[in-house]
Chains A and B, each alone.
Chain A
Amino acid sequence: MKPRFVMAIDQGTTSTRAILFDHGGQLVAVSQLEHHQYFPKPGWLEHDPAEIWRNVEKVARRVLADVGARAEDIAAVGIANQRETIVLWDRRTGKPVRRAIVWQDTRTDALVDELQHAPGAGQITELTGLPLSSYFSAPKVRWMLEETPGLRERAERGEVLFGTMESWLIWNLTGGVHVTDVTNASRTLLMNIRSLKWDPQLLEFFGIPEAILPQIRSSLETYGTGRGVLEGVPIAAALGDQQAALFGQTCFAAGEGKCTYGTGSFLLLNTGTELVASTHGLLTTVAYQVAGQPAHYALEGSIAITGSLVQWFRDGLGLIGSAAEIETLARTVEDNGGCYIVPAFYGLFAPHWRPEARGIIAGLTSYITKGHLARAVLESTGWQTREVLDAMNADSSLRLRALKVDGGMTSDNLLMQFVADVLDVPVVRPMVAETVSLGAGYAAGLAVGYWSDLEGLRRNWHLAAQWQPAMDPARREAEYRNWTYAVELTLDWTSKTGAQ
């Protein structure tokens, strides 16, 4: 029987989902489970890799059951995953040596400060396309090796394996294939961005034994076949979640870009097979690589806190019952009332890269209601997007004519209109908002011949919604100035107060 679907596994920061897509690229069924967020200390964030693997098995089983499908109905599985998060596990037992350290975790800030002064620090960005920051994998691996008794010795003896999340899942899905895809490897600070190989100089700099590293493979190839619930299904693609979204938005050519609005938000611009080095605080990263072909590169601007600010508004402040209700609350007022929220919960990312910044609510007066705060929460996402797009325009001659958007927050009409207003370009949403999953599905489907070429996938892209800029330019600039002042107020908070 001809396989009917491709399955995407989207292993994200807060949840794990399995999604089935049909040949038209349309979503057929979805199953989702959230996993535990562990906050052992301020600034720390961990996940239980064993729980995440169990959730993958559960959602895969459920999504098949939802449509009465079996493993043989699935042409291929593609993985899109939270990036930079690290897992170390025992090669023999398959048990994680401790909980995964999540990308947002800032425990390695001090270690990174120290490494900034070590010999060779000056070449890191040239070699990797990334700044030396606690955000990426290598300092986290170094920390785990140092702080877990006996672990370094075990690692050097080859008893321990390292991987980012896709690596952990492929190892479990296939029963022991230890590989990583090139887009995930490009986020570790250990891969040379030009040769696309682990770089001995970087391994030495971070003190990481080569024995623990997975083999770097392209993003679109069969790494192995599934076992258990996915018995015999080719595991045929892996992409970091943001690269997956770029792929799912069919941004296959230089000059095409997208922004995914989720927990954090990520603007990626495909720069083709040439890499562009940023001088404005953006990252150079691998966009995707088809087996046997040169890699495509991207410029990336990441914003740490967007959707998670809405979650905080819901769970931390309890002002809304669900994320979508923030729009209802924001619409109870006409404007932000002079209030600005800069959510530097874990420092500021692109284009500032100020880990010592902490968040602020600026412009508070007795006039401010929860409606104004709701507006300020949504607007912070718009302004942070503007900062990143300004930096991209400064780095590259490829000017975005429209911003393709996706992610859960695109259901918020007020926010999408605000993004169009402050960027002064149209914002367009494709018919499948789940582009992270779609990209993983597309990549897997292409790798096994379920789809024949990239152009066929482009024809699947349809416009579902569009927002045209409508803000008065003078007001836009005045508001942007106010936002910029508010950002300045967040800098240096931890260095001046000694807070974490």
Chain B
Amino acid sequence: MPGSIQSIERAAAILELLAAAPVPLRVSEIGSAVQLPRATAHGILRTMLDVGWIEQDRVSGKYLIGEGRFAPGGRQVDPNELRARSMNWADPLAARSGEAVRVAVPEGPAARVIHYVFRPDHSTQKADVGALLPGHASALGKVLLAFRPSAGQALTDQALTPYTSRTLTTRSRLTSELAQVRRQGWAVEQGERQMDLAALAAPLTGLGGLVVGAVGIHGAVDRICDPNGVPRPRLLALVQECSRAIGRELHTPRTQA
């Protein structure tokens, strides 16, 4: 059996120590608690700071567990970075589908819109960048819930606000819908937030396979879906193609962008 990796063991010990500590700790306190020389402890702490597992108090220089790093939803990609990476691919999606495009990142059980491309039809439109879409009642939100199971755990039946008669308002219906989204790799919203609106969305997969966001189109129900309520295959293919293209972009080191 191969030996365990010492630095990971040490980092884990420090993490446990900081997680249990009621107050931030000094490097010397951490070193003596896990029986490491100060310099060694300092080196490990620096790496843990870099990856965002821990934080350092600016004034006292003491260390504490990284806020939000291990919270539901996990580590997030910078939304402005995601917009910069998405722009070149969201534009052609709007142009080819003829519909407005949105990119969203998870925020609790909801989806925060971080990028918006107008529908290419010369009409006056308003971008809802910054809007928070309900996770259970939007295509973007359902994708984010489906691929980030921890985010939806807080959702009770009471939290599933009904927007229309079509909104999924029970935990069991939502759970089976999310399982379906995971199986097929995309989500559809059909009058669930607004009766006359439909939307399609697919996940944006970052480094390590983590879903960091979602991209989708939205528009009138009869344009997005056929008369039987089935999403139009051409539009679905365009959304999925776009999600893959942004995914590839997210896998290139950002210093090259």
Contact = CB atoms under 8 A, between A and B. Distances in A.
Interface of A: 24, 26-28, 30, 32, 34, 321-328, 408, 410-413, 431-434, 462-466
Contacts of B94: 431, 462, 464
Contacts of B83: 324, 411, 413
A462 B78 contact: no
B92 to A, nearest CB: 4
Interface in B48-87: 78-81, 83-85, 87
8 contacts: A32-B256, A324-B81, A413-B83, A413-B129, A462-B95, A462-B122, A465-B118, A465-B127
Given A322-B81, A324-B80, A26 B92 contact: yes
The CB with the most chain A CB atoms within 10 A, among B87, B96, B116, B127, is that of B87
A322 B122 CA distance: 34
B94 to A, nearest CB: 6
Q: At the interface, is chain B mostly helix, strand, loop or mixed?
A: helix
B229 interface: no
A217 B95 CA distance: 34
Contacts of A34: 256
Nearest to A460: B95
Nearest to A467: B127
B117 interface: yes
Contacts of A412: 80, 84
Nearest to B96: A26
B129 A324 contact: no
B103 to A, nearest CB: 11
A464 B91 contact: yes
A326 B79 CA distance: 11
Given A412-B80, A412-B84, A465-B116, 14 more contacts: A27-B88, A322-B257, A324-B85, A328-B78, A328-B79, A408-B84, A431-B92, A431-B95, A431-B118, A431-B120, A433-B87, A462-B94, A463-B120, A465-B118
Q: At the interface, is chain A mostly helix, strand, loop or mixed?
A: mixed
Contacts of B183: none
Contacts of A30: 88
Contacts of A413: 80, 83, 129
B161 to A, nearest CB: 28
Contacts of A411: 80, 83-84, 87
Contacts of A462: 94-95, 118, 120, 122
A408 B85 CA distance: 10
A462 B96 CA distance: 12
A432 B81 contact: no
A105 B88 CA distance: 31
A322 B118 contact: no
Contacts of B117: 431, 464-465
Contacts of A431: 91-92, 94-95, 117-118, 120
Given A411-B83, A433-B88, A463-B118, A322 B78 contact: yes
A465 B83 CA distance: 13
A407 to B, nearest CB: 11
Nearest to A323: B84
B254 A322 contact: yes
A326 B255 CA distance: 14
Contacts of A325: 78, 80-81
A24 B85 CA distance: 22
- Contact size class for B? 20 to 34
Contacts of A328: 78-81
A463 B126 CA distance: 12
Nearest to B94: A431
A325 B85 CA distance: 12
B80 A321 contact: no
A328 B84 CA distance: 12
B125 to A, nearest CB: 8
Closest 7 CB pairs of A and B: A462-B120, A324-B84, A411-B84, A327-B80, A324-B81, A324-B80, A26-B92
A432 B129 contact: no
Contacts of A464: 91, 94, 117-118
Interface string B93-125: 011100000000000000000001110101000
Nearest to A29: B245
Interface string B30-58: 00000000000000000000000000000
A322 B91 contact: no
B182 to A, nearest CB: 28
B156 to A, nearest CB: 32
Interface string B117-153: 1101010000101000000000000000000000000
Contacts of B129: 413
A328 to B, nearest CB: 5
Contacts of A408: 84
B80 A463 contact: no
A323 B256 CA distance: 11
Nearest to B127: A465
The CB with the most chain A CB atoms within 10 A, among B85, B88, B129, is that of B88
B17 to A, nearest CB: 27
A433 B79 CA distance: 19
A411 B114 CA distance: 11
Interface string B220-257: 00000000000000000000000000000000001111
Contacts of B127: 465-466
A75 B158 CA distance: 59
Contacts of A410: 87
Contacts of B120: 431, 462-463
Contacts of B79: 328
Nearest to B92: A26
A159 to B, nearest CB: 38
Nearest to A322: B254
A482 B218 CA distance: 44
A463 B122 contact: yes
Contacts of B84: 322-324, 408, 411-412
A176 to B, nearest CB: 32
A416 to B, nearest CB: 11
A24 to B, nearest CB: 6
A324 B78 contact: yes
